[in-house]
Copies of this chain bind each other. A is one copy, B any other.
Amino acid sequence: MLLELSSDQEIFRDTTARFLTSRVPISEVRSLRNHPAGFEPDYWREGAELGWTSLLVSEEHGGGSVSGGGLVDLTTIAHEFGVHAAPGPLVPTNVVAGTLSTFGGEAHRPVLESLLAGTSVAAWCFGPAVDTDGRGPAGPRCRIADGEVVLDGVQRPVEAAGQAHHILVTARAEGGLTQILVPTDTAGVSIEPMRTADLTRRFAAVTFDGVRLPVEALVGEPGDADELLEYQLQLAVVIGNAEAVGALQTAFDMTLQWAFDRYSFGRPLASYQELKHRFADQKTWLEACHAVNDAAAAAVDDRSPDAKELVSAAKAFIGDYGSELVQDCVQIHGGIGVTFEHDLHLYLRRVTVNRALYGTPADHRQRISTVLENRKERV
């Protein structure tokens, strides 16, 4: 998170921080592992009232940012989600809300309103995305004919598909990538829950079997969703990164405190040089995680030409170095750090799962090299 927030941003962030502290203390988070949805509807609705879902939505649609940079503002919320290991589908709901506000038609207004009000949440299928190697089953395909869209295929894993009223799907059509907002109660949609390394987030495999929708369900121009998908990916990555950085910050603070409190061989752990130097590395990586994701968020808000490479650099760096950081926190805690009773794994899970979603570090390094390749000039 930025070292300097404006006072408005600070109030905004702090409101959410205080809400999460009281509504989802760690004991509550831990018990949500058996909750079918992973979060309570009331909790989400109240969060939406604090602005969790409105930052990427234009003012004319009832949204608005705090600072003028909606994604930067949203990263302060996401950071607190990470700090508190908070539940709730922050990434997909915001990606869909932002998309519907900018590219959605009149038909999508009621959905957008319910997302803003927090009375429903949305899921987003990260589709046949951009430069990764197309692993997993081929994504969905669709045909458009006679005023109808017909959708077939499978997508997995999809966050909050089982909790969402709508899923934003990217499908291959003859003309190119096409996006469709699919109500989850449409005939032909089936949702199979998956197992996950997360405690509170729920993922599903979603199958579309001859799903028929009116063309009003289309989002943006059919066949022209490449840039839209790229933009959504950038949003999802930056929000997920901000959560991960919040989780890393908490894990780091907790472990540093442990090193001061815990004695071994008559000395605090914090007095051992080898551990001190590892903390120095951790601190360096942590500051770097903050720095690169903040820069990525600003670049996406500004539609800057370096947004793609910054977003992927942030994902690749936070994924790899963040994982090593939090695993080193586990190591310094020793056995207690891998017990369910200890809090550390809640942060470890957040970092781990976010690393695997929306492209692994290796996938994003490939994306970066594509950017480099497309730079014609020899430096």
Q: Provide the residues of chain B in CB contact with A272, threshold 8 Å.
A: 273
The 4 tightest CB contacts between A and B, nearest first, are A273-B273, A273-B274, A274-B277, A274-B274
Q: Is A276 an interface residue (CB 8 A)?
A: yes
Q: Provide the residues of chain B in CB contact with A277, threshold 8 Å.
A: 274
Name the interface residues of A267-296: CB closer than 8 Å to any CB of B. 272-274, 276-277
Docked complex Cα distance between A273 and B276 (Å):
10
Docked complex Cα distance between A272 and B272 (Å):
9
Return the chain B residue nearest A277 by Cβ: B274
Docked complex Cα distance between A276 and B277 (Å):
12
Docked complex Cα distance between A277 and B273 (Å):
10
Docked complex Cα distance between A15 and B139 (Å):
68
Q: Provide the residues of chain B in CB contact with A274, threshold 8 Å.
A: 273-274, 276-277
Interface size on A, residues (CB 8 A): 5
Docked complex Cα distance between A272 and B273 (Å):
7
Nearest Cβ on chain B to A374's Cβ, whole angstroms: 22
Interface membership of chain A positions 321-348, coded 1 if the CB is closer than 8 angstroms to chain B and 0 otherwise? 0000000000000000000000000000
Nearest Cβ on chain B to A45's Cβ, whole angstroms: 49
Nearest Cβ on chain B to A366's Cβ, whole angstroms: 16
Docked complex Cα distance between A277 and B275 (Å):
10
Q: Provide the residues of chain B in CB contact with A276, threshold 8 Å.
A: 274
Docked complex Cα distance between A296 and B277 (Å):
37
Docked complex Cα distance between A317 and B276 (Å):
29
Docked complex Cα distance between A223 and B14 (Å):
75
Docked complex Cα distance between A277 and B331 (Å):
15
Docked complex Cα distance between A272 and B271 (Å):
12
Return the chain B residue nearest A278 by Cβ: B274
Return the chain B residue nearest A276 by Cβ: B274
Q: Provide the residues of chain B in CB contact with A273, threshold 8 Å.
A: 272-274
Interface membership of chain A positions 209-247, coded 1 if the CB is closer than 8 angstroms to chain B and 0 otherwise? 000000000000000000000000000000000000000
| A272, A274, A276 interface centre (most CB from chain B within 10 Å) | A274
Nearest Cβ on chain B to A11's Cβ, whole angstroms: 43
Return the chain B residue nearest A272 by Cβ: B273
Docked complex Cα distance between A26 and B272 (Å):
39
Nearest Cβ on chain B to A328's Cβ, whole angstroms: 13
Interface membership of chain A positions 44-85, coded 1 if the CB is closer than 8 angstroms to chain B and 0 otherwise? 000000000000000000000000000000000000000000
6 A–B pairs (Cβ distance < 8 Å), ordered by A:
A272-B273, A273-B273, A273-B274, A274-B274, A274-B276, A274-B277
Docked complex Cα distance between A200 and B276 (Å):
42
| A272, A273, A276 interface centre (most CB from chain B within 10 Å) | A273
Docked complex Cα distance between A274 and B274 (Å):
4
Docked complex Cα distance between A274 and B273 (Å):
5
Nearest Cβ on chain B to A225's Cβ, whole angstroms: 35
Docked complex Cα distance between A274 and B272 (Å):
8
Docked complex Cα distance between A274 and B277 (Å):
7
Nearest Cβ on chain B to A25's Cβ, whole angstroms: 38
Nearest Cβ on chain B to A124's Cβ, whole angstroms: 35
Return the chain B residue nearest A271 by Cβ: B273
Docked complex Cα distance between A116 and B239 (Å):
69
Docked complex Cα distance between A272 and B277 (Å):
11
Nearest Cβ on chain B to A273's Cβ, whole angstroms: 4
Docked complex Cα distance between A273 and B272 (Å):
7
Docked complex Cα distance between A273 and B273 (Å):
6
Return the chain B residue nearest A280 by Cβ: B274
Docked complex Cα distance between A274 and B279 (Å):
12
Nearest Cβ on chain B to A266's Cβ, whole angstroms: 15
Nearest Cβ on chain B to A278's Cβ, whole angstroms: 9
